[in-house]
Chains A and B, each alone.
Chain A
C-alpha cells in the first residue's frame, strides 16, 4: 500500500534512504526515535493542533471559484486556500511541527534552508514564537529575487546566511545548511522545508503537511475528480495527495518547465530527470551523464530545485500521480487570470498548478469537480510580477 510507505529503511519503493556522511547517521537515528515518540504522545499532538488552529489559522477555507468556473465552462473549480495561512503559505504547517519537536528534543537552535523564502519566513516565525534561535541559509540569487522575504526573516529576528556557491539558489543553500548541520549536529536541529533529504525527513514533513489533504477531504462534500498541486521539492503536493492515495481521484503534480522543457532552463525533474542521489535521498534529479547535478531554472524560486521528494519519485514510477509541467509564461498568465477572476493573487509557484488546471478544466464536463491547492499567496512575488507585467504594458 502506498500509504504504508516508507519502510523501516526510509524507502518508498526504490527511492529514499539515507545517503549521508557517517557523522549524520546517529543524529538521524536520534531524530527518528524522538519523532516516533512525539507522534504517539497526545500532549505533543494536541500542542501541534492547537498551534495550527490558534496561531496559524487552520483550517484554511475551501473556496468555490465561481467566476473562473463560469469563464472556462467546464469542471467545477475549488481552491484550497493555503495562501491564507499565517506567513502566506503552507510551509508553516511543517515548521510548527518540526520546531515543536526540536524544543521537545531540547534543541533550541534551528537551521533552515530556503528558496523563495517562504520556508525561511515560516522557520523564523516559529523560532520567534517558541523562543529558538534561527539561522536561515539562502542562495544569493534568491536573496536578490526575494528581497521582501529576506527582510521579513530579519525582522522576525533570524539570521540570514547568504550562500554564493553554485547558482546561489535552493540546492546550494541546502548544501550549505547540511554542511553547517554536520559541524553542529549535537545542539542544532535542522528544520528541512520540503519532503526531501535523508530519512526520516520526507516522512516527517509529509506527516506535518497532510493536514492539507485531510481538511480537503472533510470540506469537500461532493466527489472530487482531480486534484492539482505544484511540485518543487513537493511538500504541498504530498500534503494534499497523501490522504487521497488510496481513493479514486486523479492526482496531478505540476513541475516548473521554466523557459520550456526542451531548453536547458527548466526545473522539470520528473519530466526530464533520471534517478540519482541528492541531499541524502535516492530520487529523480537533473544531472549530466557523469552524475554531476545540473543547475535548474524557474522564475519561481520555490520550484527552482534539481531534485524532488523520494515519495513523488515513487508515485511517478508507479504512475499513481500524473506529473505535468508549466512554463514561466503560462504560470505568470495564470497569476493574472486568478487575480482578475477571483480576486486572489497566488504565489508564482501555486500558479503552476492553476495553469495546468485551467488547461484541463475547460475540457471537462460541468458535473466534474477539481481542487487546486493554492499553496501560497503572491505578495512575495510583487517585484517579479511588476517587472514582468510592466514590460507587458500592464498599467
Chain B
C-alpha cells in the first residue's frame, strides 16, 4: 500500500516519471560500460564477456609521455579561461548597469549577445578565416604594417590565447545577463540613501553594486572551477591540427583520439574515468571551501 501522500498526489509522480525514465534509459543504462576501463575490451566477447585486467590501462596512462602535457594543457586552458572569462562578464555587467540611456543600454546588450548564437563550427570557421596566413584579415593588417604573415593556427604558443579570446568574444554578453539581472534587482532605496549621503557614482558602485554581486559571483566561480578539468571537446577538436597539438591536446580530445579513432576503447575509457573522478573531487573540494569561506555553496 502506497503512503497516502503519494496516492493523493499520484499525478505529480506521473509528471516526473518521464524525466526519471529518460535519465535511467539514456544516462544510467550505458553506465554499465564504465567497466571496460578495467577490462581488455574485445568486440566479439562484448562488454560483459571481456577479460578483467585491473588497473592496467590507468597505469599505462600515468606512465604515458603525454600524461603531464595533457593535464597541463587541460588545466592551463581552463585556468586561463576562468582568469579572463570569469571577471570580464562581471565588469561588463557593472558597466552596463551604470548606463541610463535606455536605447544605448539595450543596443550594447543586444550586440554583445549576438556572437553567442554562432555555433562552434561557425565560430572556429570565422577564427580560421580571420587568421588565415594568406587570405585572413589579421594578416592583411600585419602585412600593411610591413610585418611577416603569422601562422596563427599552427603556432602552439598562440593556441590558448586564440581559444580563450574567441570564447570571451562569443560569451561575454551572454554570461553577463545573470549579473545584469542581479544588479537590476538591487533595492533602489539603497542608491537613494547613498545619494543623499553625497556618495559619488564610483563610491556607489564600489559599496553597493559590487557587494551585491558577490554571492552570485561566488556560485558561478564554484561552477567554473569545478569544471576545470572538463573543457568542451568540440571547439578544441575543431581547432586542432598536427602542429598546435603540443598545446592543444587535452584530455577530452585524447579520449576521442585513442578511443574512436584509435580503437583502443578500454584505454580511452580509463582516461575518461580518471578525468571524471578528478572532476568529482574538484567539485566537492571547491564546494567545501566556499562553504567555509563565505557560507555560499551549491548544496
Q: Does chain A bind chain B?
A: no
> Residues on B close to A: CB < 8 A?
none
